[in-house]
Amino acid sequence: MPASPSTARAINDRLALRLFQQEGPLTAGQLKQLTGLSRPTVADLVERLTAAGLIMVVGESGEQRRGPNAKVYGIVADRAHLAALDIRTEGVAVTVADLVGRVLAEASAPVGDDTGTGPAVEQAVALVERVVKEAGADRLHTVGIGAPGLIDPASGELRDSSGLPQWHRRLVAALQERLPEARVSVENETNLAALAEQRDGVARDRDTFVLLWLGHGTGAAVVLDGALRRGASGGTGEIGFLPVPGTAALPSSTDCEGGFHSLAASGAVVDLAAQCGISTEPGQEPSAVGVVRAAAGLVRSAVRDARGAETTAGASGTAREGEVSRSVRGAETSASPRAFPAASPRAVPAARFLDALADRIAVGVASVVAILDPGCVVLGGEVGQAGGDELAARVQERIARMTPLPTEVRTTALGGSAVLRGALLTARDRAQEELFTPGERPVRRW
């Protein structure tokens, strides 16, 4: 059955708006070429979208032809303003953008471990209000929040968790109260990171993949056939609770210690580096954010030392491959590092550390691969980014020996910023979904 005229107009309008979002400003002629619609149909939809306050003339283009210049149309970017928040155990980051996702202002602030729930919430809300003011926005249309923990699939709310600060849940409620006209939504941080990698990062060519988050804690996001999978209770990807060999105990329903978290979270990475003879800089360890930075710094330094040593070894012809590890936990029995020239004293512990870390990460990756067969695993978070291709290659080598399922291991393109980027993308999608609904409406600025 052919679509009714009103349905056809709605479809064409939405198609045009998506093209404006993807391609940027366009002339009516370019819109005709991209949509395949007739010139009169394009003229009608441009008139409708302009009258609705969704697009406007943003310039002119000669299009290399005689006659008057063609008008160039673009989305009315200030029709709505959006905010994205990345809530961490140790602080919060805020970005405010316009309707097309252009960042107007951003800031972050730490929240100390000893800060009470009420003061922490007020500090975070004040940061949001300051960034909104700096962006020149009168109000917010949509707010997207990324937070650690489980999101109830029925209510969309952040579930109470004994391992996370209480101010996280209170902040979401406080923003809904202080911004009554805004649409506020919250999503698991790792899920948002995966969406960002799928849209703007290293997974743009993959419909199915898993993102393994390696930061303060661990997590996984599962994208199958282009769709994010959350599970029956919203807990898909809680890999920190995965029982693994080499830990002192099993995880519990309220504590992931003893699970994969004990092998690959930032605190475990710092401890592993010490076992391999690599120490952190003094004063880096006390806070949660300090541990994350210390872990990422140790991995980054080890990669640099290992790469430099391999280059020297390659030039001198003295490198040889070591044996494969048979241990997960113990650094002392980890993969024997390649032999490096004596001129690189830091190379041996660096390679030993990267090999031992890859052993640990491979345990979690192999479990995911055995169940989901994603074909691609992205190492995300601050530690995944710091490890780069060196760490990814080591993990992929181990996975190739542990499973018959071909799996590519990639390094995040976005690192720790992926959560904020994902929150902004979801806020933009939600706002556009509402505002791009065709039909006459009064123009209202958000």
pLDDT at position 256 over 50: yes
Which two structure tokens, joined as six digits, stand for 69? Answer: 């210049």
pLDDT tier, 242 (very low <50, low <70, confident <90, very high otherwise): very high
- The rounded distance, in Å, linking the Cα atoms of 236 and 436 is 31
pLDDT of residue 184: 94
For the whole model, what pTM was predicted? 0.85
What region does 348 belong to: left with phi over 0, alpha with psi -120 to 50, or beta? alpha
The answer to whether 210 touches 366, Cβ cutoff 8 Å, is no
74: its two tokens: 């673009």
Mean pLDDT of the region 304-314: 66
- From the number of C-beta atoms within 10 Å of its C-beta (0-12, 13-18, 19+), residue 195 rates as buried
Interval 53-78 mean pLDDT: 79
Indicate whether 322 pLDDT > 70.
no
* Per-residue pLDDT at 349: 86
Q: How sure is the predictor about 333, in pLDDT bands with cuts at 50, 70 and 90?
A: very low
Q: What is the pLDDT of residue 127?
A: 96
Q: Is the pLDDT of residue 343 over 70?
A: no
Whether the per-residue pLDDT at 427 is higher than 70: the answer is yes
Sequence-distant (6+) residues with CB within 8 A of 279 are 273
Host H or E run for residue 17:
helix 5-23
Written as six digits, the tokens of 222 are 């599962």
Contact 298, 284 (CB under 8 A): no
- The predicted structure's pLDDT at residue 294: 83
Q: Distance between CA 226 and CA 221 in Å, rounded?
A: 12
Report whether pLDDT(316) > 60.
no
Flag whether pLDDT at 319 surpasses 60.
no
φ, ψ dihedrals at 284, nearest 5°: -90, -20
Which residues neighbour 289 within 8 Å (Cβ) at sequence distance 6 or greater? 88, 90, 91, 110, 216
What is the rounded average pLDDT of the residues 232-259? 90
Helix ranges (DSSP H) in 238-346: 261-264, 266-275, 288-316
pLDDT band at 426 (very low <50, low <70, confident <90, very high): very high
What local confidence, expressed as pLDDT, does residue 440 receive? 41
Q: What is the pLDDT of residue 354?
A: 94
Q: What is the pLDDT of residue 278?
A: 84
Give me the helices (H) in 276-417, please: 288-316, 347-372, 381-402
In this predicted model, which residue has the larger pLDDT, 117 or 61? 117
Note the pLDDT of residue 63: 52
Sole residue written with tokens 């902040």: 171
Q: Cα 57 vs. chain centroid, distance in angstroms?
A: 34
Mean per-residue pLDDT for 258-272?
93
CA distance 70 to 59: 9
Which has the minimum average pLDDT: 81-85, 194-198, 317-321, 372-376? 317-321
Q: How confident is the model at residue 206 (pLDDT cuts 50, 70, 90)?
A: very high
249 pLDDT more than 50: yes
Angle at 421 between CA 415 and CA 423, to 5 degrees: 125
Average pLDDT of the chain to the nearest whole number: 85
Strand 183-188 to 142-147 pairing: parallel
Cα atoms found within 13 Å of the Cα of residue 250, Cβ hemisphere only: 3
- pLDDT, position 211: 98
Task: Name the residue with higher pLDDT: 275 or 324.
Answer: 275
